[in-house]
Amino acid sequence: MRTSRHAALPVALLLCLAASPVDAERYLQAEPRVFPLEGATRLRVEFPVGSMTVEGDEGTTVRALVRVDCRRHDTDECARQARRIRVDHRVSDGRLSIDVSGIRKEMTSRISVEMRLLVPRRMQSRFEMGVGNLTVSGMTADLEAELGVGELTIKGEERHFHAVAVESGVGDATIRTRSGDIRERGFIGHTAHWDDGRGASTLSAHVGVGKAEVNLR
């Protein structure tokens, strides 16, 4: 078993102050991070609270950008809270794991954290998130996405998948395909299934409470 461990890096050490020309909203934005695959063929990302956007592309590394929105609060206090946010990554058994920690629920009333990832589209991936919005697009390999509370949206091409399962513990579960929509909605435990595809990959999406939608066109 090959394991490569890397020390966690405080996000705040990379943050720079900027201002929006429209509303002068102040935010902290990290310099882009690049994670080599180091032979990994699978990816797992864990992100606690906020907003995470994943885009598949033809790259050969995983690239990440973290932005902390201070919501017009004192920037020094925002920076102190941002210092608690850490990004850790490691490679073990052919899997690259990226973990974001240090975002506590009580912080979210004063700041919001956004993470954008660019991922090799053919990489088998699993994304796990606690609370917020999770959007994934452009992936073609086996894909799993799990969100505790919030809204989960996955966009892809039908030709890459042969089976899709979308589940919502409390809320709506929807699959949109070229031949029509499959929708399950209600209060407790709904799962939408589609297995008419000719692609090589599978897709699984689960939301505990909220909305889950897979759009295959």
Q: Is 70 exceeded by the pLDDT of residue 5? A: no
pLDDT mean over 144-151: 98
Q: Which two tokens stand for residue 9?
A: 């890096």
The reported pTM is 0.88
| pLDDT score recorded for residue 56 | 98
Look at strands 86-92 and 9-10 and give their pairing: antiparallel
Nearest in space to 161 (alpha carbons), one of 207, 128, 200, 213: 200
Contact 148, 187 (CB under 8 A): no
* Distance set, CA 197 to CA 18, 132, 135, 157, 215 (Å): 46, 30, 22, 10, 13
Q: What is the pLDDT of residues 160-211, one digit of tens each?
A: 999 999 999 999 999 999 989 998 765 677 899 999 999 999 999 999 999 9
Q: What secondary structure, in 3-state letters, does 176-206 show?
A: EECCEEEEEEECCCEEEEECCCCCCEEEEEE
Q: What is the pLDDT of residues 48-107, one digit of tens each?
A: 999 999 999 999 999 999 988 887 667 777 788 778 888 999 999 999 999 999 887 666
